[in-house]
């Protein structure tokens, strides 16, 4: 999968060199390219923002550098004229979920546009859709406001990247995780079986795989009911009832 990220803080994306995502890049499973939006400005101060029409606080990202940056991304190593899906992080977007991560993991090419200040001039979205023919999705990390899109991109690239075949060695470990089927994961334990006066639940030491599966399922339901009852309503029927 190819991933392009356009930002005014390329160094913010340095963690994508680390751990499993960094290894996937080394192995050629992920081709991550980070671009500095300021490289597409033409004034001495490399200006990317200006005051908002209609007044109000803050600054707005200018359309021209974004248009040139997108042209550059589309032209780079792309003789067949393929088009990325453009993801613009924003608190006003659709929520980023495991289901969306799975959907995005199917895409051969994702481009991310990191907003700063009050965000990006609305005409950039129209230009990307109507003139460049891109599918554009505004995606929110959650119902809170960050200073910029970079942290959201780190989270999204990690969540999507780990679903790309080959990135996680043991694909089975992906299946049982929280949010894969609407429930949270069961409690997990490792050695020693007795630690600090606390015991691992005996069923996990029983060797009875059926009993372990039943216990884990009951724990998933209880934990989801306690921490995220909204998920139980959304996944009505996950526990075998209808």
Which residues of the shown chain bind ligand SAM in the complex (CB under 6 A)? 89-92, 114-116, 118-119, 140-142, 144-149, 152
**Does 90 belong to an annotated binding site?**
no
Neighbouring CB atoms inside 10 A of 167's CB total: 22
Question: By beta-carbon distance, which residue lies closest to ligand SAM?
Answer: 115
User: By C-beta, is 124 or 183 nearer to ligand SAM?
Assistant: 124
User: By C-beta, is 90 or 182 nearer to ligand SAM?
Assistant: 90
User: By C-beta, is 67 or 114 nearer to ligand SAM?
Assistant: 114
**Does 141 belong to an annotated binding site?**
yes
* Closest distance of CB 225 from ligand SAM, Å: 27
* Closest distance of CB 142 from ligand SAM, Å: 5
**Does 146 belong to an annotated binding site?**
yes
**Residues 28, 3: Cα–Cα separation, whole Å:** 12
User: By C-beta, is 9 or 109 nearer to ligand SAM?
Assistant: 9
Q: Report DSSP letters for 55-72, one per residue.
A: --SS-EE-HHHHHHHHHH
| Contact indicator for 105, 137 with CB cutoff of 8 Å | no
Strands (E), 22-147: 31-36, 49-50, 60-61, 85-95, 109-113, 136-140
**Does 104 belong to an annotated binding site?**
no
| Contact indicator for 150, 100 with CB cutoff of 8 Å | no
* Closest distance of CB 185 from ligand SAM, Å: 24
Q: Hunting for tokens 């990220």 — which residue is that?
A: 5
Q: Which residues are annotated as a binding site for S-adenosyl-L-methionine?
A: 115, 141-146
């Amino acid at each position: 999968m190819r991933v392009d990220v356009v930002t005014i803080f390329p160094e913010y994306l340095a963690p994508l060199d680390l751990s499993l995502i960094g290894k996937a890049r080394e192995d050629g499973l992920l081709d991550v390219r980070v671009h500095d939006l300021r490289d597409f400005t033409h004034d001495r101060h490399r200006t990317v923002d200006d005051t908002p029409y209609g007044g109000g606080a803050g600054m707005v990202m200018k359309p021209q550098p974004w248009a040139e940056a997108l042209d550059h991304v589309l032209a780079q190593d792309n003789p067949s004229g393929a088009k990325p899906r453009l993801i613009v992080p924003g608190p006003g977007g659709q929520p980023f979920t495991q289901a969306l991560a799975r959907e995005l993991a199917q895409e051969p090419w994702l481009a991310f546009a990191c907003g700063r200040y009050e965000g990006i001039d609305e005409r950039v979205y129209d230009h990307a859709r109507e003139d460049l023919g891109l599918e554009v999705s505004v995606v929110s990390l959650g119902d809170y406001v960050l200073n910029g899109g970079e942290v959201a991109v780190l989270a999204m690239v990690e969540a999507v990247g780990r679903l790309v075949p080959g990135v996680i060695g043991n694909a089975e470990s992906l299946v049982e995780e929280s949010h894969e089927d609407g429930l949270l994961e069961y409690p997990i334990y490792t050695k020693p079986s007795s630690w600090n006066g606390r015991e691992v639940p005996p069923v996990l030491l029983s060797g009875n795989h059926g009993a372990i599966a039943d216990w884990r399922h009951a724990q998933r339901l209880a934990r989801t009911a306690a921490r995220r009852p909204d998920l139980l309503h959304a996944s009505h029927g996950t526990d075998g009832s209808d």
